[in-house]
Structure 1
Amino acid sequence: QLEAQLEALQCHFTWDLDPGRKKLLSIIDRLQDIGTEEGNFWLGQVYNLQGYIHFLLGSADEAKSFFSRAAEAFRRMREPDEGPWLLVNYGNQAWLHHRQGEEAESRACLSKVEALMEEYPSPSEDELHPEVYAEKAWTLRNFGRKKQRLAADIFQRAMRMQPDVVEWQTSYVLGLTSLFKHSDTGLEGDDWEKMSQAKEQDPENLFLAAKYLQQLAKKGESVKDEARELATRVLRNPVGSYSGIKPLLMVYRFYVSTDEGVKLAARLWKNTQTTVI
């Protein structure tokens, strides 16, 4: 019966996420660069995924530590501190305890899931909580092109149910740019409209801003001035996977000037060394 209850959970352990050690290590490296500063909207999801990957890589203690950090991050970010955004985390913890033979602890986590489901019932029997959809979609985005298509569909479900969460919309359109990154003309039609809206609603997201310039440039627009302006903003921020520097350097390489791109990269390198020292 316990096994059946665990299988029914929505969490990393039931989402078919085991692409092999090499891919897992690559994801871990990328997640470590995302930035764990206060205010990172996806911090809880980052820790949840890190915990699950550490479990797959054989470190249950690391997994437990990251799952605890995830729960704490969600509580700090949300009001009230208990809600459906913890369903995935409690599910992960239930599975981890079960895999370690700690059945009493596993059942305790299952009880927490049941209590949350009772207090915050999903909108309908055949739908999950939008928070669960969003975390699942964000997680799937990290596992390659095939999963990214599914992630886009799941994000759309979350946004239909809760259309006012800017970060979900941003993550959704960033997923679209990954799906169509080999397109010569960039996003088109409704997808392009959604990206434009996301940029307006999330103006401080420099990664999104850089991706937006990439898309504009693919459409034949001149983006040199905008790229230089964005570079000054990026230089003021810590370098990481989502600082915007990687897509911005691509914009420089193909649409501004290779020489300027090299100089920008050098300035960023100098900034990181100064920060480390």
Structure 2
Amino acid sequence: MSAAQSEITLKAQLEALQCHFTWDLDPNRSKLLTLMDKLQDIGTEEGNFWLGQVYNLQGYIHFLLGSADEAKSFFSRAAEAFRRMREPDEGPWLLVNYGNQAWLHHRQGEEAESRACLSKVEALMEEYPSPSEDELHPEVYAEKAWTLMNFGRKKQRLAADIFQRAMRMQPDVVEWQTSYVLGLTSLFKHSDTGLEGDDWEKMRQAKEQDPENLYLAARYLQQLAKKGESVKDEARELATRVLRNPVGSYSGIKPLLMVYRFYVSTDEGVKLAAEALEKHPDDRYLKRCAALGYKWRITSWTDSRPEQSMIQRAILLHEEVISLYPHSSFVKRMDLASVYAKSNQGLAKSDQIYRELLARDLEPAETQVLFNHYAKHLNSERRDRQRSIEYHMKAAEIPIESFFRQSSIKTLEKIRDKRQDRMCREIDECLARLEEPQ
């Protein structure tokens, strides 16, 4: 076989693999940096079922960001994590990892090492054949589904389908069922009524089968509350358990704070976040959660006006969080602007933050979020109704379907239906353009 033929054969073998390099993830740089921070905040303590998958994804992100050495290190960590979690040491759960390593070596020009990894894949496939020619191993389905959950709404829908395939093949893996229903709650997080029908029943079953998963418990309380049930006592009881557990984004603290915000008390939510931060004063994720709790309390329409000391504490905390998340602080900067707007003589600083964000070269999805937030700021803080409408129209005209686009469209429709604004004609024209086929 000639060198050219050998290269073609190698490339074909690589493209046939199931791994991050072949899953069409296609993230932009901003998404990569945000996801990198998100993955770093997941606790890495022993017993984390998804630790191998976390390391695999981190390795792939490091590769895309240009650090092959870091990628190699994380792929090695992933393999070790899988071996510690599984018996025997080798099995189909390593197929994705070996595929990633084969691709990494290939991209580095290390063809012999790439072929060695391909040989490992072939050996595993021979020892552990897939159930049928047109199906993958359930472990591969599960890792692919878990990975896709991190890449936006369209990928989340696909992830739900893939998780179901894995669960049909191995229905006794509790962690797959938990991740599947958590993915459903993400898909319907803006629903007023929450999960319904079979989806709600699946969540109830997952809660029964995975009672120690506090993240799932917090999401479950959210769903109960959306159905009109009182969850105050359950939320407070769950808070005591969350405070005893290791910190991390899977600890349940953030969804629990959301329960406190809407269904218990924002003041109690601030106290909960402060207590957690007191136990772990150097944890950046808890600082991020605490900053969010303060922002919710300060910008709440229903609670009493907060004291300036609380606002100053929130400002300092947000500024620290922004410094701790330099590559993924976009939303936190808007949160800081919202807090400044409630401080004494803080509107000028709030406006300055928005001007700086508007001057940035953002991804279209980020621009849409910014326009929606800025439109609300102009209306509620600056009482500049005309410019607010203009920015809602700008947000709506960015052709990316999202909660923020729908928020701006609904606002425009309400203004139009009242027929009391001098910009009704412009709003009519904008909404008409949105209905035209793309």
CA displacement at 1:44 relative to structure 2:
0.4
Q: Decide whether aligned partners of structure 1 residues 14 and 200 sit closer, same or farther in structure 2, where only a CA change above 3 A counts.
A: same
CA displacement at 1:122 relative to structure 2:
0.3
SS at match of 2:255: helix
CA displacement at 1:273 relative to structure 2:
49
1:274 corresponds to 2:435: yes
Q: Decide whether aligned partners of structure 1 residues 276 and 174 sit closer, same or farther in structure 2, where only a CA change above 3 A counts.
A: farther
CA displacement at 1:257 relative to structure 2:
1.0
CA displacement at 1:238 relative to structure 2:
2.5
CA RMSD of aligned residues (A): 7.7
Q: Decide whether aligned partners of structure 1 residues 161 and 4 sit closer, same or farther in structure 2, where only a CA change above 3 A counts.
A: same
Per-residue Cα deviation, 1:47-80 (whole angstroms, up to 9, x for no partner): 0000000000000000000000000000010000
Q: How far apart, in 2, do the equivalents of 1:276 and 1:238 lie?
A: 50
Q: Decide whether aligned partners of structure 1 residues 274 and 204 sit closer, same or farther in structure 2, where only a CA change above 3 A counts.
A: farther
Q: How far apart, in 2, do the equivalents of 1:70 and 1:116 lie?
A: 17
Q: How far apart, in 2, do the equivalents of 1:156 and 1:32 lie?
A: 27
Per-residue Cα deviation, 1:219-253 (whole angstroms, up to 9, x for no partner): 00000000000000011123211110100000001
SS at match of 1:124: coil
Please, which moves more after superposition, 234-243 or 91-100?
234-243
Q: How far apart, in 1, do the equivalents of 2:11 and 2:129 lie?
A: 23
Q: Decide whether aligned partners of structure 1 residues 163 and 22 sit closer, same or farther in structure 2, where only a CA change above 3 A counts.
A: same
Q: How far apart, in 2, do the equivalents of 1:52 and 1:16 lie?
A: 12
SS at match of 2:237: helix
Q: Decide whether aligned partners of structure 1 residues 236 and 47 sit closer, same or farther in structure 2, where only a CA change above 3 A counts.
A: same
The counterpart of 2:95, out of the listed 63, 87, 93, is 87
TM-score by length of structure 2 reads 0.60
Q: Decide whether aligned partners of structure 1 residues 242 and 276 sit closer, same or farther in structure 2, where only a CA change above 3 A counts.
A: farther
Per-residue Cα deviation, 1:154-213 (whole angstroms, up to 9, x for no partner): 000000000000000000000000000011000000000000000111111000000000
Q: How far apart, in 1, do the equivalents of 2:79 and 2:435 lie?
A: 33
CA displacement at 1:265 relative to structure 2:
1.2
Aligned residues: 271
SS at match of 1:142: coil
Q: Decide whether aligned partners of structure 1 residues 275 and 262 sit closer, same or farther in structure 2, where only a CA change above 3 A counts.
A: farther
CA displacement at 1:274 relative to structure 2:
55
Q: How far apart, in 2, do the equivalents of 1:253 and 1:71 lie?
A: 40
CA displacement at 1:275 relative to structure 2:
56
TM-score by length of structure 1 reads 0.95
SS at match of 1:117: helix
| Larger gyration radius, structure 1 or structure 2 | 2
Q: Decide whether aligned partners of structure 1 residues 253 and 11 sit closer, same or farther in structure 2, where only a CA change above 3 A counts.
A: same
Q: How far apart, in 1, do the equivalents of 2:223 and 2:132 lie?
A: 38
Consecutive unaligned residues of structure 1, counting only runs of 5 or more, are 267-271
Q: Decide whether aligned partners of structure 1 residues 275 and 199 sit closer, same or farther in structure 2, where only a CA change above 3 A counts.
A: farther
Q: Decide whether aligned partners of structure 1 residues 207 and 274 sit closer, same or farther in structure 2, where only a CA change above 3 A counts.
A: farther
